[in-house]
Amino acid sequence: MAVARRLLDKYRQEYQPEALSLTTGKPTICSAALPGYPAHLANDRRRRDTNRYWATDITQDKAAWWQVDLEKPTTIARIVVVFYYGDKRHYGFTVETSTDAKTWQIAADHLDNTELSTPAGVTVRFTPRPARYIRIILTSNSANTGRRLVEVMAYDK
């Protein structure tokens, strides 16, 4: 019975429903997308599905970025970025926010990131700020020339 309780406690945490992200279902754009991997797959609330992601390749898209429009200024304090995690790889990236899609503020600089991608993603916390737009700029992938985002989530806390 004790073993069953430990397993239940362990996996209950992993499969708890998440709070609805401010990005879910919002309009997206990107620098470019590979066929079958459009931008909207990175904010469809399916972070545990490594077959659904936005993808581009730097052989065709030198400055890879993904952007979501929250449709109105919203206070955000935390962004979770889930990269493709189907194998051992890590991504270099920056996270930017804007209220007008013209002037951008860096929320996080992870250009030298070496943390392997996981379903939990990379959590970026910062002083709460108003933002209408969130942009992820992908600068490197340790496995190949592809850039893949499984999910991008934003929260007010």
Report DSSP state, residue 114. -
pLDDT at residue 13 in the model = 47
Q: How far apart are the first and last CA of the chain?
A: 37
Q: What CATH number belongs to 20-155? A: 2.60.120.260
- Exposure string for 98-110, b = 16+ CB within 10 A, e = fewer: bbeeeebeebbeb
> Is residue 147 within a helix (H) or strand (E), and if so which, with residue range?
strand 146-155
pLDDT (tens place) for every residue of the chain, 157 residues total: 666 666 555 555 444 456 899 999 999 999 999 999 999 999 999 999 999 999 999 888 888 999 999 999 999 999 999 999 999 999 999 999 999 999 999 999 999 999 999 999 999 999 999 999 999 999 999 999 999 999 999 999 9
> Is residue 2 within a helix (H) or strand (E), and if so which, with residue range?
helix 2-14
pLDDT at residue 117 in the model = 96
